[in-house]
Structure 1
Amino acid sequence: MAGLQKDPAFERWAHLRENTHLYFRWNKRTVNKTLFWGIVIPVGLTILSYKTDRKWDFTGAQTKKELNMEK
């Protein structure tokens, strides 16, 4: 029974993935992704949570009353 042949492309990808810290460089693409995922998304979710804070009354769901939206 013959063994599986290793694909050089997969081997190279695995090597780069295991050693990311050696090959990482800051460039325009990585800076943009870092700013987006590290600043824009958390700030956007924070703004969204503050805008919707105490806006909905879900106590009616427990008592089978209508759900009321406060202004």
Structure 2
Amino acid sequence: MAGHGYTKTDPAVDRWNVMREAVYQNFRWNKRTARQAIFGMVLFPAAVYALAYNQHNKWDWAGKRKGESLLRAAPAQESD
């Protein structure tokens, strides 16, 4: 329906839409796309998993009162 009445079409927007809809047909692997794929599908999820695994049993949020440590194994307090 574009182009009818008072609507003006922009040829640049139309070219961009055509390119965006057909991007999978023109995709090629190169160093940049391979690096982005490896980072996005391997390294980033592995880093998130490592962080979650490291912090999993470190914190305890249940039943804590003001002033109590959130650490599961709270460090011993030194007495004078």
**Normalised TM-score (structure 1):** 0.80
Q: Which residue of 2 aligns with 1:5?
A: 8
Structure 1 stretches of at least 4 aligned residues deviating more than 6 Å after TM superposition: none
What is the aligned-residue RMSD (CA, Å)? 1.6
Tell me which of 69, 72, 76 is aligned to 1:70. 72
d(CA) in 2 for partners of 1:5, 1:33: 38
Give the structure with the larger strand fraction.
1
Give the structure with the larger helix fraction.
1
Q: Which residue of 2 aligns with 1:36?
A: 39
**Normalised TM-score (structure 2):** 0.72
- The number of aligned residues is 67
Unaligned 5+ residue runs, structure 2?
A: 74-80
Q: Considering Cα pairs closer than 8 Å and 6+ residues apart, tell me whether 1 or 2 has the greater RCO.
A: 1
Q: Tell me which structure has the larger Cα radius of gyration.
A: 2
Aligned residue type for 2:71:
M
